[in-house]
């Protein structure tokens, strides 16, 4: 049997399956060599409460991956309904500093860019990472959580954005 054809079919099946998994959307940020970087992601999730920690999976081909390998800290900004344009810009629609032309960006006391009107911003120290296939898995030790009151999360599923019903 041709192993390559088998693995391509499996990849397609997995992509199709993942369209059914609805996720919140975040924009992760960091600073490297004085440059701000941002990346939209659905892969962010809480890892542990003891210690409070987050997991973020980043493709090795992204500029964000190269920066995160060398960065001390990063933020995870949980997006709400008003942030579809921010997700689009940080998810491939813009490059480098251009990504920060969309959204209400602020700077943390530690010098990290964060979205001032995100549902929540989780500030992490970059504690550990390992590589699996094409992705880096970054473990962020949670240092601070900034919260806004409104509950109106942006949802991504089946290749597009959705609102929660009700
Ligand atoms: C909704 C959405 C979710 C995404 N989730 C991820 C993700 O979890 N991990 C990842 O590596 N890329 C993800 N991407 C793609 C990156 O955001 C995109 O490749 C980005 O342009 C990388 O930027 P950079 O190369 O400038 O660092 C996602 C894009 C979108 C629109």
**Atom from ligand 1 closest to the CA of residue 91:** 17
Question: 6 pLDDT band (50/70/90 cuts)?
Answer: confident
Residue closest via CA to ligand 1's atom 29 equals 91
Give me the sign of the Cα torsion angle 21, 124, 30, 78: positive
Residue 4: what pLDDT? 67
Q: For 69-81, what is the mean pLDDT?
A: 96
Q: Whose CA is nearest to atom 14 of ligand 1?
A: 41
Q: Nearest 5°: phi and psi at 36?
A: -80, 140
Domains along the sequence of the chain with CATH = 24-158 (2.30.110.10)
Mean pLDDT of 110-133: 98
Kindly report the backbone phi and psi dihedral angles of residue 89, in degrees, each rounded to the nearest multiple of 5, phi listed first. Answer: -65, -45
Q: Look up the pTM and report it.
A: 0.95
CA of 2 from ligand 1 middle (Å) equals: 31
CA-atom Rg of the chain in angstroms: 16
Cα distance between residue 57 and residue 23, in whole Å: 14
Mean pLDDT for the stretch of residues 37-63: 98
In the reported structure, the alpha carbon of residue 1 is separated from the centroid of ligand 1 by a whole-number distance in angstroms of 34
Q: What is the mean pLDDT of residues 130-142?
A: 98
140-149: average pLDDT: 96
């Amino acid at each position: 049997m041709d192993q390559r054809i088998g693995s391509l079919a499996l990849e397609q099946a997995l992509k199709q399956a993942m369209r059914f998994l609805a996720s919140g959307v975040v924009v992760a940020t960091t600073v490297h060599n004085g440059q701000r970087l941002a990346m939209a992601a659905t892969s962010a999730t809480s890892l542990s409460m003891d210690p409070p920690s987050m997991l973020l999976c980043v493709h090795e081909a992204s500029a964000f991956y190269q920066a995160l390998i060398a960065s001390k800290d990063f933020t995870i900004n949980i997006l709400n309904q008003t942030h579809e344009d921010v997700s689009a810009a940080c998810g491939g629609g813009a490059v480098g500093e251009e990504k920060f032309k969309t959204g209400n960006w602020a700077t943390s006391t530690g010098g990290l860019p964060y979205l001032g009107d995100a549902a929540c911003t989780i500030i992490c120290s970059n504690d550990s990472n390992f590589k699996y296939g094409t992705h880096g898995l970054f473990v962020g030790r949670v240092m601070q959580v900034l919260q806004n009151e409104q509950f109106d999360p942006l949802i991504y599923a089946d290749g597009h954005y959705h609102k929660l019903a009700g």
